[in-house]
Structure 1
Amino acid sequence: MPFKTISENYFMGRAQELQSLSRIASEAAIGTAASIFLSGQTGAGKTELLRRLFADLFHKHEDAAPFFYTVNPALISARDLSNDYLSSFMRQRLAFQQKDLSLALADELSVEDLMRLAEKLDSNWAVDILGRYLQARRAGTDPEKLFLSAIKAPHLSYFGTGVPVVVMIDNFHSIRGLYRSALEDSDDLWMLFEDALRSGHTPHLLTGSRHKLDEMFFEKTSFGSSLELVYLSGLDNSASLRLLSLFHDDSAVKTDDEHWAHFIDLFNGNPSYIKTFSQAARRHGRNLAENDLWKIYFREITSGKIYTTWMSRLKACVPELELRKASIELLRHLSRHSVSGLSDLAKTISVTRQDIDDIVDKYISRPALPSLSISRQDFHSILKAFRAHGIVEKTHSTFRLAEDRVMSDFINALYSREVLDEPLDSIEEAFIRDKAKHSEEVNVPSFKLTIPAAPRAEIIAVKALEQIARNYNVSAEITAKLQAALIDLFVSVVKQEDHGNGSFQLKFECSKETFKMEIKTPDKRLIPPASFESISDDHLHMIRKYVDDIRFEETKDYSKIILTKNLTEKVESPG
């Protein structure tokens, strides 16, 4: 229901996005509006943003009528969805005309009821649209033509009234499963939206499964070429903290702001996580130390609402009970490795590098994990389902777990409990201990440096490393090894051609136990080495000889390689 929005006080950090989307109304009025594919992390607030846009256009604008529709996956026949889509549109369009929101809420009105209402209101444009639809339905028109008649209604209303329509469809990917007259006769009716998506007077804002919509718009068709792509990122830290504070203003929850900071970072601006965690904390209604907050969070990912949400997705992806433990282990490995395919994944779960069939056979027959049998077909089916539900992402060359630290914590806890069969209290103890250690590491001083992506950039990097290591009394022997690793890394992994005007961002961090170096580039100048194929055996051997860990990370914005050296000598902070 688009008319039920959260309180204005709790809708924050989205003013710029709302203002940007609101411009689509004035653009539609002159016929230059482009349809939009609105994507973002699950829980980022895409649906709520569209609801706010509906309310804003309905109450504050006259130049475009809003229409919000959520695709109900239970409506799998074209005829049923056509009736629902058309009646929803006509209720909302007549409500906008009359400025009577209650009419939009009248779900009980059938198409025939709306026809009588349109006649009573002397809305000839509506009478014409509804009359044609009812005539086609009575004549037993082909479901495809009936569906086309319904989805053209916003455009026909524009021709009849001169008022553009901003169409907002949530969960759009579910339309892909519509069938005409038999379940096997499906998968392409959604393509009838092509003309509607290209209309500058009736722009469509679409949300849904990013993987499925990518497949629909860019792989199966060329619809994507006419869509504007908008990614809704998480709230910034300031808005996240304000939202978190609002949930606690009327409760007895008291804690230091510095404790909240760890969770602001963890939730990455996801309003759904912030709200769920806040509600769980409010139930305790007392002064909370940092360990108390981590215990609340642990219960959320092992038995609370977050657990229930993610478990329902996993069960939807893997309905077969006998495959669930295997799927959990696959996710566990994906949370620690980016992999380029089945063979690469097998390498992460096997000490051998034999032919893929042999590796899978070894994996199936591993005596320590007899319940984790999984066939090649099962594997691909599970990965496909994980991608469809936004759990796993596929870049050009790798599979990886979606960037969601809460989901990763859920998977790790589930792995310990379901696969390793560890007791919950032991898992919690280890989890709290790890988080406490991480909180201490967050406060470790770091040095950041930006250098131009030019030839011999490694010289600047190693000189900076030398000064920073000396500042922390790192031994000359360890410093020399770190410098050698850094040089080998630049020579073998960082592209030396086409430098342009880019730059590398370096971060050096020293704790009591480790010295860490991060090399990041926003334009993905690092070659994505899923299994470090881009590094020669000699270079890889030398880098690993100098450091204790090499890790690669890739996001849509940057690539990063992290080198870590365990310190064997006492390190003192500078005085």
Structure 2
Amino acid sequence: MPFNAIPAEDFLNREPELNYLKGLSKLKANALGGDVFLDGARGMGKTELQKQLYRILFWENNVVPFYYSFKTANLKGTYFAQDYFTGFVRQYISFVKKDPSIANNVAEPLQRLMPTISSLGLYWLIDCIEDFQGHVNKNDFYWQLVAAISAPVMAAQKMGKPVIVMLDDFDEAAHLYESSLGDAHGLISLFGESMRNRLCPHVITGSAGALEPIFTDHSLIGMTERMRLGPLPEDLAIALFRAHLTNLKITCAPGVQLEFLDLLRGNPFYIKNLAKAAWKMQKNVITEKDLIECYSFEVSDGETAFYWASVFSRYVKNPAQSKAMLKLLMHAIENGGIEDGKRLSMVSGLGEAETETLLNALTTSGIMRVKDAVLHDFIHCLYMKEIEGRNVSDAREKIEAKYIQEREESCFELVIPMSSNAELVVAKAVEQIGKNINLDAEFLNYLQLALIEVCINAIEHSGSYEKKVFLKFITRPDKLEIIVENSGRPFSLESIKEVPVEEKMRLGMKRGWGYKLVHKIMDSVKVERVNDRTRVILTKNIDNGS
């Protein structure tokens, strides 16, 4: 319900947007404004902005607020109509009497409210209720929907007081149906008349990708302006986090800079959830390391994980599709997007048609386009659990290790074409990196030879459709890690035939040194298969004798 908004003092940096929306009814009445689509990344506070607006309007008494969330709505048309209509009636009476309990008591039948409605002199509302019930008794599907959706307009016209209609996750209205899913396309267009009315400005949220075709399909196009909600500035993000901690009776350790919050990119939803995670984990005094620990809990098993899991569940119908979606998303994260659509069925494990349908749903949702480190970490955790079969503890340890190491590491990335002598560029790069971290000259020479062999193996034997080799060099005070990755055919270390190292040195061979040399000079050599890509991970522990 709209009354469960956060305290106004904790809703930071949205005063201009709130002030504009408060005056929306006057702007629309004078044809200077229209309806508003709240745009922004998930968690930026679009729903919260609606709730804050609702609370302000409810107590100011100049404009009637009505809030409806499609997120939890039953989209069967008759059920939706009943829920929408009764919700408006309750909220309207609640507004007139200034009694929030009426709106919150969703279990009370409308018939029990009739004496209250009569005492308020709202006889036109009694007529509306009787008309709606008449459509129900006649089983008139179409007029039930029309009567429900037009109720705010009717109220505004009868009382001469504007009604601001707030529709949360409005794109879900595109899935309204009569008897079975997909049997009545275009029912969302019934909102057109209500949205055109000058006494009823609408403030809506939802997936931009899903809403754009909705407005293109009918006369709503051009009637709605976009209001984008951006992230909180760094100082306000820290202030909000500290405010949440204070409310939860948690303090920060002396000297803590809260630099880890940069990862959350000023997202109020993530900030709130991280603070709550600290409370759930019984933290009394927060350190930077605690933040990482709480964050790993949040993206693996906390409210943020639950939220994204519920978003994903809208777009998949069974476990097979769920796993396929995870594989596609991991592929997109690791490759910076999806370039070769023809090979996606190999990644997903589904047929081409089913993969295309799933990909279209993800594209419409906007998830594929989101550059969100928190979402990516959630996907990685879920991938480890659902695809790799790891437990939650393993997933959390992986995330924690990633961020603890990042605070102490440097990372260099290199992409080379699969062409003649391209591996020599890698040798030159690793030479410079080795000098920067003071690697032993003899070891560095062997490392260059080993990397040349790994790259040649990828170039000559992988059959990569990308014709590229991706390398990442990660340096830490105690460790050097080199990751070599390419698409194409898989291989195993056991399948590679080697010539003895001593023989190659005797013959002065500069190629074909093979993986025995790699194993000899590195502390760890792993070969992984990730979707359609082969990943070689070379690790060398560093000490003064390296």
- Map 1:155-554; keep pairs closer than 5 Å: 155-218=153-216, 220-249=217-246, 250-255=248-253, 259-263=257-261, 265-282=262-279, 283-339=281-337, 344-345=339-340, 356=342, 359=343, 363=346, 373-393=349-369, 402-420=370-388, 431-440=399-408
Alpha carbons of structure 1 residues 376 and 102: separation in structure 2 relative to 1, 3 Å: same
In structure 2, C-alpha distance between the alignment counterparts of 1:375 and 1:223, rounded to whole Å: 37
Preserved contact between residue 323 and residue 373 of structure 1 (Cα < 8 Å): no
Once residues 436 and 220 of structure 2 are traced to their aligned partners in structure 1, the CA distance between those partners, rounded to angstroms, is 54
Q: Percent identity?
A: 27
Quote how far apart the aligned CAs of 1:192 are: 0.9
Q: Give how far 1:339 is off.
A: 4.4
Which structure has the greater CA radius of gyration?
Answer: 2
More deviation in 315-324 or 34-43? 315-324
Indicate conservation of the 8 Å contact 1:35/1:205, yes or no. Answer: yes
Q: What residue in structure 2 maps to residue 133 of structure 1?
A: 132
- CA-CA distance at 1:413 after TM superposition: 3.5
Displacement of 1:114 after TM fit? Answer: 4.3
Quick check: 2:28–2:198 contact (8 Å CA) kept in 1? yes
Deviation string, structure 1 residues 168-217 (Cα, Å, up to 9, x no partner): 11122222222234545223211111121122211111112332222322
Q: 1:261 to 1:224 in 2, by over 3 A?
A: farther
User: Counterparts of 1:424 and 1:147 in 2: how far apart (Å)?
Assistant: 45
> Do the aligned partners of residues 512 and 128 (structure 1) sit closer, same or farther apart at CA in structure 2, a change above 3 Å counting?
farther
Partner of 1:8: 8
Give the 3 Å change call, closer, same or farther, for CA 34–104 of structure 1 in structure 2: same
* Change in 2 beyond 3 A, CA 1:86/1:116: farther
Alpha-carbon deviation of 1:51? 1.0
Structure 1 residue 68, shift from structure 2 partner: 1.3
Q: What code does the residue aligned with 1:412 have?
A: H
Counterpart of 1:75 in structure 2 is 74
Cα distance change of structure 1 residues 58 and 442 upon mapping to structure 2, 3 Å threshold: farther
Aligned to 2:17: 17
Moved more, 165-174 or 93-102: 93-102
CA shift digits 1:70-125 (9 cap, x unpaired):
23655233222222222221222233233333333342443444455433322233
TM-score (norm 2): 0.68
User: d(CA) in 2 for partners of 1:331 and 1:176?
Assistant: 25
Q: Distance in 2 between matches of 1:261 and 1:84?
A: 45
After superposing the two structures, state which structure 1 stretch, 247-256 or 39-48, moved more.
Answer: 247-256
C-alpha spacing 1:100/1:300, structure 2 compared with 1 (3 Å): closer
SS in 1 for 2:66: strand
Instruction: State the shift of 1:47 in Å.
Output: 1.3
Aligned to 1:474: none
In terms of mean alpha carbon deviation, does 203-212 or 247-256 score higher? 247-256
Aligned equivalents of 2:36 and 2:74: distance in 1? 24
1:92 matched to which residue of 2?
Answer: 91
Contact 2:36-2:227 within 8 A present in 1 as well: yes
- Please, which runs of 5 or more residues in structure 2 have no aligned partner? 413-424, 430-434, 438-466, 472-481, 484-546
The 8 Å contact of residues 33 and 200 in structure 1, kept in 2 or not, is answered as no
> CA separation in 1, counterparts of 2:101 and 2:31?
30
> Which residue type is aligned with residue 345 of structure 1?
D
Deviation by residue 1:120-152 (Cα, 9 ceiling, x = unmatched): 3222332343343333333x1631122112211
Please state whether the residue corresponding to 1:3 is helix, strand or coil.
helix
1:500 aligned partner: none
Equivalent residues of 2:192, 2:219 under 8 A apart: no
Could you say which residue in structure 2 is the equivalent of 1:489?
none
- Equivalent position SS for 1:296: helix
Match of 1:110 in 2: 109
Instruction: Summarize the Cα distance change of 1:141–1:314 in structure 2 as closer, same or farther, 3 Å threshold.
Output: closer
Residues 344 and 355, structure 2, Cα contact 8 Å, conserved in 1: no
Aligned match of 2:492: none
Q: Which moved more, 1:195-204 or 1:279-288?
A: 279-288
The answer to whether the 8 Å contact 1:30/1:201 transfers is no
- CA shift digits 1:371-423 (9 cap, x unpaired): x6222122112223323544223xxxxxxxx1211011222344445445567
Are 1:2 and 1:51, in contact at CA under 8 Å, matched by a contact in 2? Answer: yes
SS in 2 for 1:374: coil
Query: Which SS does the other structure have where 2:2 is aligned?
Result: coil
Counterparts of 1:432 and 1:208 in 2: how far apart (Å)? 33
Q: Distance in 1 between matches of 2:286 and 2:71?
A: 41
Residue 137 to residue 297, structure 1, CA distance change in 2 (3 Å): closer
1:72–1:35: structure 2 CA closer, same or farther, 3 Å change rule? same
When structure 1 is superposed on structure 2, of 159-168 and 127-136 the one drifting more is: 127-136
Q: Which moved more, 1:23-32 or 1:233-242?
A: 23-32
Q: Who is 2:415 aligned against? A: none
SS of aligned partner of 1:68: strand
Contact 2:153 2:163 in 1 (8 A): yes
Once residues 200 and 18 of structure 1 are traced to their aligned partners in structure 2, the CA distance between those partners, rounded to angstroms, is 20
Q: Secondary structure at the match of 2:183?
A: coil
Query: What stretches of structure 1 of length at least 5 have no aligned partner?
Result: 347-355, 365-371, 394-401, 445-477, 483-510, 514-539, 550-575
Closer/same/farther in 2, CA of residues 307 and 81 from structure 1, 3 Å limit = closer
C-alpha change, 1:35 and 1:124, in structure 2 (3 Å) is same
Q: TM-score, normalised by structure 1?
A: 0.65
The letter for the 2-side match of 1:123 is: L
Letter in 2 for 1:300: E
How far the C-alpha of 1:156 sits from its partner, in A, is 1.7
User: Pairwise CA RMSD of aligned residues?
Assistant: 3.5
Change in 2 beyond 3 A, CA 1:360/1:23 = closer
CA distance in 2, matches of 1:313, 1:426: 24
Alignment: residue pair count: 421
CA distance in 2, matches of 1:181, 1:413: 38
Aligned to 2:543: none
Instruction: Provide closer, same or farther for how the CA distance between residues 286 and 168 of structure 1 changes in structure 2, counting only shifts above 3 A.
Output: closer
Give the letter aligned to residue 38 of structure 1.
Answer: L
Rate the CA distance shift 1:39–1:442 in 2: closer, same or farther, 3 A: farther
**Distance in structure 2 (CA, Å) of the matches to 1:190 and 1:94:** 26
User: CA 1:331/1:257 → structure 2, altered by over 3 Å: closer, same or farther?
Assistant: farther
- Give the corresponding residue for 1:499: none
| Other-structure match for 2:488 | none
Query: d(CA) in 2 for partners of 1:303 and 1:214?
Result: 33
Tell me, yes or no, if the aligned pair for 1:34 and 1:227 is still in contact at 8 Å.
yes
Is residue 195–residue 201 contact of structure 2 (8 Å, CA) maintained in 1?
yes
- State the distance in 1 between where 2:83 and 2:404 align: 52
